[in-house]
Amino acid sequence: MPENFNQWINRLLDDNVLSIGELYNKFLGDIRNPSVHFIGRFENLVEDLITGLRLAGEEFDERDVRNTPPANTSKPGLKAIAKYDLRTLARLIQTHRHVFDVFGYSKDIRSYEQLLW
């Protein structure tokens, strides 16, 4: 029987495959004291790209950035099936609470209602 989304996430957590903190440590240094001072967020991609380019001192046309259509977007309907049950989302947040802290994401499960069944 194929796994559903929550079974898959729980299996990855059980197998420690979702060790995001270790991945961040490898590329950013210790996540408790990151050497990176700006992280763009998917939820605010265009604005954060513009901010990042400005912080880096790059010359660019902001209109071009804003008018570029999205590419490599999720398939239609994917968001409808990639929803967490309450237990799985709570487990994910607890397991990676330090990553949520470092990058300023809420650990309050009510902040993620749109991700729940």
Helix (H/G/I), strand (E/B), else coil: 102? helix
In order along its 117 residues, the chain shows pLDDT tens digits of: 457 889 988 988 888 766 666 777 676 666 666 677 788 888 899 999 999 999 999 999 999 999 999 888 777 777 667 889 999 999 999 988 877 887 788 999 999 988 888
Q: Tally the domains of the chain.
A: 1
Instruction: Quote the pLDDT of residue 1.
Output: 43
Name 84's bridge partners: 116
- Domain holding 63, by residue range, is 5-115
Rounded Cα–Cα distance for residues 65 and 24 (Å): 27
Query: Which ranges of 31-113 would DSSP assign to H, the alpha helix?
Result: 45-55, 62-67, 78-81, 86-95, 97-102
